[in-house]
Structure 1
Amino acid sequence: MTNMQEPMPASDKLPARSVDAIEELSGTHPGKRRAHARGICAKGVFTPSGQAARLTFAAHLQQTPCEAIIRFSNSAADPASRDLMSPAKGMALQFQLPDGQGARGVESVQGEKPVISAVTAPVFVARTPESFLEMMLAARDMTRRGDSIKDRLKGMLQLFPHAAEALTSISSLKPPASFASVPYYSIHAFYFVDENGRRRPVKYEWIPDAEEAHLPLIKAAVSSKDYLEDELRDRLGTSPIGFTLRLTLGEEWDPVDDCTARWPSNRETLEAGHLFIVELIEEPDGLVMDPTVTGPGIELTPDPILNFRHDAYAVSFERRQKGI
């Protein structure tokens, strides 16, 4: 296939080439994110339980509540895509820590505010940036040929067997009844670091206060393009929205460099805190929900996709700031 014949760019060119490939697949939409292009922002308060304090000295996971900005989104790169046509949904949260509690990030954009970025699928489709680019190019070629959705899925499974769990999971996702009625997963593992320098691998999951619910077929047929945003406005008009932050604690032999792999279901979990979302807000200028912005007390694992996302987000941000 064409994508297999294209040479892989040098590693420092991969972020830009990967963003190019997304544009080739879904079109260029000036001023918009190259993924999760359409979203809606809200303001909330995160209250940590203190249970994670034994694992990390991260300021936002101790005892003191802090404000947060939350962005719910579709995964589609086309902002005109209907909610129903974008199977995976996103929930990204930026903790509004006081000045001086620094974090790694795009300094001129993000400042010192840690991020948790999560989606409704528990694993990702690619292990490495190179594999991700190959998948985008393959999807582009299938789309240009006019392959059906079923044929595209079959073709991707044949070309990229490592993505079987993620592709199967995404294809089986049902449309949520609400952004507030489904769980969200961090996909990546992170290291929590305590005061003595001990590290423990951890994955995040947001568990909704609302009962998990999906859109009935009869409603899906008549739903608006952005029914999830409409529903969120209506829901917040009557009551706050809540999520519990659950941590899954990995063992030293659990994979931390492969975001296509699940951890065993019997791993220890704890509730790190609770989020109350109280009102919708306009998206702040220059908001970048970069998951590599972690803050002191949390470190990145050697997951190549996780580390790659920092540079890819920077490319996307530069292009949307320039209106291209």
Structure 2
Amino acid sequence: MIEDTSETVLAKRAVNRIEEIAGTFPGYRRAHAKGELYEATFTPTGEATPFTIASHLRDSEVEAIVRFSNISPNPSTADVLAAVKGLSVQFLLNNGDVANLVSITIPIFVTKSPQTFFDILNTVKSFKDGKPHFKDMVKLFTSYPESRAAFQMIRKLKNPKSYATGRYYAVHAFYLVNELGLRTPVKFEWEPEAGIETLSIKESASLPSDFLETEMIDRLEREEVRFRLHIIIGKQDDPTDDPTKEWPQDRQRLEAGVLRIKAKATVTKDNFIFDPTVLPTGIECSDDEILPFRKNTYAVSYERRKKGE
């Protein structure tokens, strides 16, 4: 049972609102409901060694569980209708612990405030369709100027031809911590080795509802799917508490490792929680208020789906 605090109450209200808007689908996540798990291996390059004591970013190859998904709370939503796609990775660390990295196909989040996120849910009646309607966009732009950039990106976002050809961003800032205790602000991105490929409107119109899963099955029969993990090194003035803002493009980038996705996972039940605040020693959360809010909403969602609600 989740103890009621001001933070968890808001998380429960947010999940309730998503259910009111999109419907309730027992046993499924309240966002990114439609997704599949895959088995993978992550091999570090060692380039992050001066910045962190996290072993999986230094010298330890680890197994991982990967989940690709689309943003919709409705598991029957066609892939082409849910604009944003997700890539969640759970690193299975050699000491028995896990670490998560959660990313989506736009580089920023819709708000920096949990309360504003809840207010947006009350504004966007078309949330269940994957993309907000124009009239809802006007309301959002007027009421929540911090959200304009993200919703403009969502409106313009093209579907990837494959989960394997999307670029995924962790959106939040984190800190890497080294042996001396030095904390370095960073962001994470996954770059597809297959290159970035998107669909035209004409191509999207003719695709089946579950084309991304089918395409992934076919692709994995031919080859591994690989992503390179890039770490962006922030500077002192780069915001660590505001996921609605991108950092400048000229920031130093490290290639931290390679994720090799090998096959669909053999686990039959998806009990994984990809909580972005579950981190190993050597990586810490920033002061971004959305991070603990996500932790709480994920916990509420998991509790309900575990009960079959």
Distance 1:175 1:311 in 2: 29
1:123 to 73, 97, 108: 108
Give me the identity figure in percent. Answer: 40
Counterpart among 286, 296, 301 of residue 301 in structure 1:
286
Secondary structure of 2:101's match? strand
Matches within 5 A, 1:25-40: 25-40=21-36
Which residue of structure 2 aligns with residue 153 of structure 1?
A: 137
Q: CA–CA distance in 2 between the matches of 1:217 and 1:265?
A: 29
- Code of the aligned partner of 1:161: P
- 189, 202, 209: which one pairs with 1:225? 209
Change (3 A) 1:189 1:143: closer
- Distance across 2 between alignment mates of 1:214 and 1:192: 33
CA positional deviation for 1:99? 3.2
Question: What CA distance in whole angstroms lies between the structure 1 residues aligned with 2:127 and 2:174?
Answer: 35
Q: Say if 2:241 and 2:286, in contact at 8 Å, map to a contact too.
A: yes
Query: For residues 77-226 of structure 1, what are the structure 2 equivalents within 5 Å?
Result: 77-100=73-96, 112-140=97-125, 149-226=133-210
1:310 partnered with 2:306: no
Distance 1:205 1:23 in 2: 30
| Whole-angstrom distance in 1 between the partners of 2:103 and 2:7 | 25
Distance across 1 between alignment mates of 2:204 and 2:228? 28
State which of 268, 280, 285 in structure 1 corresponds to 2:252.
268
Give structure 1 regions of 4+ aligned residues with deviation exceeding 3 angstroms.
Answer: 9-12, 282-285
SS of corresponding position for 2:137:
helix
Distance in 2 between residues matched to 1:312 and 1:60, nearest whole Å: 27
2:158 and 2:200 in contact (8 A); partners too: no
Deviates more, 1:11-20 or 1:296-305: 11-20
What are the superposed Cα offsets for residues 45-74 of structure 1, whole Å, 9 maximum, x if unpaired?
110000101100002111121111100000
Superposed CA offset, 1:213-262 (max 9, x none): 11233321110101101110111111111000000000122100011011
Query: 1:300 touches 1:307 (CA, 8 Å); kept in 2?
Result: no
Aligned counterpart, 1:65: 61
- Report the Cα distance in structure 1 between the residues aligned to 2:270 and 2:105, rounded to whole angstroms: 26
Aligned-partner Cα distance in 2 for 1:143–1:96: 34
Shift of 1:24: 1.3
After superposition, the Cα gap between the structure-2 partners of 1:282 and 1:157, relative to the gap in structure 1 and judged at 3 Å, is farther
Partners of 2:60 and 2:284 lie apart in 1 by 21
Gaps (5+ residues) in structure 2?
none
3-state DSSP of counterpart to 2:49: helix
User: TM-score of the superposition, structure 2-length normalised?
Assistant: 0.94
Q: Which runs of 5+ in 1 are unaligned?
A: 1-8, 101-111
Match of 1:106 in 2: none
Structure 1 vs Structure 2 CA RMSD? 1.6
Does 1:23 find its partner at 2:23?
no
Structure 1 contact 42–280 (Cα < 8 Å) conserved? yes
CA distance in 2, matches of 1:49, 1:224: 38
CA distance in 2, matches of 1:130, 1:80: 29
Q: Conserved in 2, the CA contact under 8 Å of 1:185 and 1:206?
A: yes
Q: Matches of 1:33 and 1:285 in 2, distance apart? A: 10
Alpha-carbon separation, structure 2, partners of 1:282 and 1:119: 24
Give 3-state SS (helix, strand or coil) of 2:304's partner. helix
